[in-house]
Chain A
Amino acid sequence: MIETIRAAFVIARRDFTAIIFSKSFFFFLLGPLFPIGIAVAAGGLGAQVSQDIDSPVIGVAMSAAESDRLLAAHAHLSGSLGTRALPELFVLDDFSGREDDIIATLHSEKSLTAIVTGSLAAPVLTGSERDVQRWQGKIALLAETALAQPAPVEIRTTFVEQTSSSSERNQLLTAQAGQAILILLTMILAGMVLSNLVEEKTNKIIEILAAAIPMDAIFLGKLFAMLGMALVGITVWSTMGLSVALLVGGNWAALPSPAVGWPLFCLLLILYFSMAYLLLGSLFLGIGAMATTVREVQTLSMPVTMGQLLVFFLAYSSITKLGEPVEWFAVLFPFSSPFAMIARAAQMDNIWQHGLALVWQAVFTIIIIRFSVMLFRRNVMKSGQAARKNGLLARITGK
């Protein structure tokens, strides 16, 4: 065992330094900036489009007095509901109110969504069917308010620490956020392990390694090197993220606290990420080890990503079903266990279950590694014709 750990360290050190000191690692660290940049740009663009679509202007063609009362009601309600809750009003002066005029104005004034005519007691809204259906309620509310002329009422507010309902809701949000972070990081990073043995096989170093150290040590070393690289990346990214958040001045007190508390939750986040990485990574490494070329690895990437998504969906769907069979299944199924358990850490305060879960996940990682090693030794380490004639599927199945 000690020899296996020593040998795994030799492999991990070689791989880790080879990755960290390569030029491509810099681009790896920059990697998340691209989707963030795209998301920010797309979000801004989407918000602009949404604002353009959701800011309708309703033309008002009533008597001057009633138009003023409608505008006053609009100002009054905007103060309570917010400006975006109501359509903008635009008073049409010297407007005949005839149907043909209304239609002509709607066609010529592209900024107008609809026109309200008649009186406050009997308003008439003219526009496309979709717009009329969408805004008639708001126009009715404005007309009712204008007619009633309500006096402003001031609400006194009293805050309590937390209600049980709000606490549960907040912890659910933390569970979702924790799981989303875990899923995102695992999705980005674990797939990289798939091609991890290809270098050794294409460079024909694998035989030197296999003759010198236990194959388990090769797999373990490679996994831990990649985990180390992933943790370096996460440290850099989170440091950058926190720095930006501090500069922007986020409201930290508003973050809903997880059931186990923030320090333990953060520790569990790291531990469960590591376990998720090792579990999926060991499986990917085992599958990838059967591939002899980069092309075969690329072929494997898609089904492997789909498998990952299924696991993520299972874990995600179980967040709101704490204690139900589906959630227990997600907790016990090794590949979804880290994701389900981080959701539990946000919602349940008992700690012992995390120890058990981590041990269970570690045991299963070892089982996968041993199985992968067995397959590798049996189906890949051949010589001569036997090594060349089989395809990928035959190497995996051993047939």
Chain B
Amino acid sequence: MRATQSELAIEARNIVKRFDGETAVDGINLTIGRGSIFGILGPNGAGKTTTLRMLLGIIDPDEGERFLLGSPDPISMAHQVGYLPEERGLYQSMKAYDAIAFMGALRGLPLAEGRKRGRRMMEEHGLGDAADKQIRQLSKGMAQTVQLLGTLVHEPDLIILDEPFSGLDALNQGKLERLIRAQADKGVTVIFSTHVIAHAERLCEEIAIVADGKIPFRGKVSAARDRLRPQVHLETRNLEGPWRSAIPPDCQPLGHNWHFTLPETGVEPLLHALVEGGAGIESLSIERPGLHDAFVQIAGEAVARRMDADAAEDDGDPAA
């Protein structure tokens, strides 16, 4: 069955997965339209990989339904999908270009064509000299690039990347971000999971936050941020005066610095009250909340701390 007419790249209806009596995914509903970069955000163990595996048909949900490119049988759509799993792996004895061709052949690309494309893609990514080397002879970064190219070689309509930035250095993370954007520019739908908020914030138009097997938020990044009011950072010469009525009564100064949420009335009435009330403004800044703040507010402090720890561990910070 090749139901390719669907406008949705992904549709999950109340999918549930349990392992050994423990619920890994707890009734997730998720729709992802075509032609966008979509991030699935959450700490390790939140249920991201299990969700992706169910969506891809690697495992079946215990309850609920899922559709990949409109098909209830995800494997039947494999020719149009590229998938980079979290745990990277290639046949060690294969030559690099052959490994790319093999991954394409799995998804229906003729082997000869895959070999041609494999060599060309490696040239384009500055790995031409390594094309005939065995995977075991490549560096970790090169092998990861080969696997990524293998994910793209059959020119899929939908690319799903599970923790693609994990284990990459800053240089390669930048390259990967550019590659994701380039694919999206070609109209390819890119879905990736991550526990690093910065990547999602830079790349995604829309995100889903996964925590404890559920999705507490799904929508535009801006909508997530808009759930929080902007934060005001104010420094005044005076500590008392009529201007104090313009800031929240529970806001206490740190020296002459004040931090509080921008009142519902907005910036202009606040500014007017501060000036007229004689606050003696030394500095004033209004910061829009980042996705991290939104994440803390949506998923909770504990989940956010777990995710920060995962990200720090990824960067090799032993203190995390």
Which residues of A are at the interface with B, using a C-beta cutoff of 8 A?
A: 3, 6-7, 10, 14, 18, 22, 199-200, 203-214, 377-378, 381-386, 389-390
Cross-interface CB contact of A208 among B45, B59, B89, cutoff 8 Å: B89
CA distance A147 to B90 in the complex (A): 87
- Which of B60, B89, B106 is in CB contact (< 8 Å) with A203? B89
B contact residues, total (Cβ < 8 Å) = 37
Query: Are A204 and B89 interface neighbours, CB within 8 A?
Result: yes
Distance between A50 CB and nearest chain B CB, rounded to angstroms: 49
Residue B288, interface by CB 8 Å: no
Q: A383-B50, A384-B44, A386-B19 are in contact. Are A211 and B89 (CB under 8 A)?
A: no
CA A211 to CA B49, docked complex, whole Å? 12
- Say whether A207 contacts B85, CB under 8 Å: yes
A352 to B45, CA, bound (A): 57
List B55-72 residues whose CB lies under 8 Å from chain A: 56-60
Stretch at the interface among B5-13, B75-83, B204-212, B222-230: B75-83
Contacts of A383 in B (CB 8 A): 24, 49-50, 53, 86
**Nearest-neighbor residue (CB-CB) of B108 within chain A:** A6
User: Taking chain A's interface residues, is the majority helix, strand, or loop, or is none over half, making it mixed?
Assistant: helix
Tell me the nearest residue of chain B to A399, going by C-beta: B20
User: Among the listed A10, A203, A214, A382, which residue makes an inter-chain contact with B90, where contact means beta carbons less than 8 Å apart?
Assistant: A203
User: Given the interface contacts A14-B102, A204-B85, A384-B44, does A211 sit within 8 Å of B57 by beta carbon?
Assistant: yes
Q: Which residue of B lies closest to A18 (CB)?
A: B93
Residue pair A204, B106 in contact (C-beta under 8 Å): no
- The answer to whether B22 has its CB under 8 Å from any CB of chain A is yes
Q: How far is the CB of B74 from chain A (nearest CB, A)?
A: 8
Q: How far is the CB of B61 from chain A (nearest CB, A)?
A: 12
A22 to B81, CA, bound (A): 32
Interface pair A18/B24, CB less than 8 Å apart: no
With A203-B92, A204-B87 in contact, do A384 and B102 touch (Cβ < 8 Å)? no
Closest Cβ–Cβ distance, residue B309 to chain A (whole Å): 15
**Max chain A CB contacts within 10 Å: which of B56, B76, B85?**
B85
| Distance from B107 Cβ to chain A, minimum over Cβ atoms (Å) | 5
Q: Residue on B with the closest CB to A383?
A: B49
Q: Is the CB of B49 within 8 A of A214?
A: no
- Cross-chain contact A208 with B83 (CB below 8 angstroms): yes
- Are B45 and A381 in contact (CB-based, < 8 A)? no
Give the residue of A7, A22, A206 whose beta carbon is less than 8 angstroms from that of B106.
Answer: A7
Bound-state Cα–Cα, A276 to B285, Å: 78
With contacts A212-B78, A384-B49 known, is A22 near B93, CB below 8 A? yes
Give which listed residue, A211, A378, A390, contacts B83 with CB less than 8 A: A211
Judge whether B53 and A214 touch: CB under 8 Å.
Answer: no
Contact assessment for A205 and B90 in the assembled complex, using a CB-CB cutoff below 8 Å: yes
- Contact code string B19-35 (vs A, CB < 8 Å = 1, else 0): 11010100000000000
The interface residues of chain B lying within 8 Å CB-to-CB of A385 are 45
**B75 contact set on A, CB distance < 8 A:** 211-214
A386 in contact with B20 (CB, 8 Å)? yes
Confirm or deny: B140 has a beta carbon within 8 angstroms of a beta carbon on chain A.
Answer: no
A-B contact pairs, 14 of them (CB 8 A): A7-B106, A10-B105, A10-B111, A18-B94, A203-B90, A207-B87, A208-B85, A210-B58, A212-B78, A212-B83, A212-B103, A214-B75, A383-B53, A385-B45
Q: Which residues from chain A contact B85 at a C-beta distance below 8 Å? A: 204, 207-208, 211
B49 to chain A, nearest CB (A): 4
Check if B20 sits within 8 Å of A209, measured CB to CB.
Answer: no
In the complex, which residue of chain B has the Cβ closest to the Cβ of A204? Answer: B89
A384 cross-chain contacts in B, Cβ below 8 A: 24, 44-45, 49-50
Closest Cβ–Cβ distance, residue B75 to chain A (whole Å): 6
For residue A22, which residues in chain B have a CB less than 8 angstroms away from its CB?
93
For the complex formed, measure the closest distance between the CB of B130 and the CB atoms of chain A, giving whole angstroms: 19
B22 contacts which chain A residues (CB < 8 A)?
Answer: 386
Whether B56 contacts A205 by the Cβ 8 Å rule is: no
In the complex, the answer to whether A390 meets B59 with C-beta atoms within 8 Å is: no
Chain B, 76-133, CB within 8 A of any chain A CB: 76, 78, 81, 83, 85-94, 102-103, 105-108, 111
* Closest chain B residue to A209, Cβ basis: B106
Residues of B within 8 A of A210 (CB): 58
Distance from A81 Cβ to chain B, minimum over Cβ atoms (Å): 63
- Evaluate contact between A204 and B88: CB separation under 8 angstroms: yes
- Closest 10 A-B residue pairs measured CB to CB? A204-B89, A386-B19, A212-B106, A383-B49, A207-B85, A204-B87, A203-B89, A205-B89, A211-B83, A210-B58
Instruction: Please name the residue on chain B nearest to A10 by beta carbon.
Output: B105
Residues from chain B with Cβ under 8 Å of A208 in the complex: 83, 85, 89, 103, 106, 150
- B103: A residues at CB distance < 8 A: 208, 212
With A7-B106, A14-B91, A22-B93 in contact, do A207 and B58 touch (Cβ < 8 Å)? yes
CB atoms of B106 and A381 under 8 A apart: no
Contacts of B50 in A (CB 8 A): 382-384
Bound-complex Cα distance A18 to B90 (A) = 13
Alpha-carbon distance A368/B237, docked complex (angstroms): 81
Which residues on the A side are within 8 Å of B76 (C-beta)? 3
The residue of chain B having its C-beta at the shortest distance from the C-beta of A14 within the complex is: B102
Give CA–CA (A210, B20) in the complex, Å: 21
Residue of B nearest to A387 (CB): B19
A206 nearest in chain B by CB position: B89
Chain B window 33-55, contacts with chain A (Cβ cutoff 8 Å), 1 for yes, 0 for no = 00000000000110001100100
Contact status A10-B106, CB under 8 Å: yes
Tell me the minimal C-beta distance from B71 to chain A in angstroms.
Answer: 13
CA distance A211 to B44 in the complex (A): 21
Give the distance to chain A from B92, nearest Cβ to Cβ, in Å. Answer: 6
Chain A hits for B83, CB < 8 A:
208, 211-212
A18-B91, A390-B20 are known; give 8 further A-B pairs, CB within 8 A: A6-B108, A10-B111, A204-B85, A207-B89, A212-B78, A383-B24, A384-B45, A386-B22
Residues from chain B with Cβ under 8 Å of A209 in the complex: 106
Query: What separation, in Å, do the CA atoms of A22 and B87 have in the docked complex?
Result: 26
Q: How far is the CA of A91 from the CA of B57 in the complex (A)?
A: 90
User: Across the interface, which residues of A come within 8 angstroms of B90, CB to CB?
Assistant: 203, 205
Contact residues in B for A390 (Cβ distance below 8 Å): 20
Q: Which of A7, A203, A204, A211 contacts B58 (CB 8 A)?
A: A211
Give the distance in Å from the alpha carbon of A377 to the alpha carbon of B111 in the complex.
Answer: 27
Residues on A with beta carbons closer than 8 Å to the beta carbon of B58: 207, 210-211, 377, 381
User: In angstroms, how far is the closest chain B Cβ from the Cβ of A325?
Assistant: 42
CB nearest neighbor in B for A203 = B89
